[in-house]
Amino acid sequence: MEHKFITFQNTQQIIQFVNMVNKLDFDVDAKYGSRVVDAKSILGVISLASYKTIEVIFHSDADCNPQINKIFDLAS
């Protein structure tokens, strides 16, 4: 499991992020405070992440750092 933090500046970044996360073959959650949503859901991430720093949790036992870094490079 890998934890990262990200802040989105606009809705387009959220859409791009969700599209990239949907290509992963493992679960990804987005968390802000006590609220957790499926990071593969555009509505869920938009409702949670607008202009806030959120925690992104990647549920994978394999080494997924190259995929994660690519997502964060393009989404931020």
Q: Supply the pTM of this predicted model.
A: 0.83
Residue 44 CA to residue 50 CA, distance in Å, equals: 11
Q: 64 versus 40: which is more confidently predicted?
A: 40
Length of the chain equals: 76
pLDDT at 73: 72
Which region holds residue 33: left if phi is over 0, alpha if psi is between -120 and 50, else beta? left
pLDDT at 9: 85
Q: Using the CB atoms, write b or e for 45-69: b if 16+ within 10 Å.
A: beebbeeeebebbbebeeebeebbe
Residue 18 CA to residue 12 CA, distance in Å, equals: 10
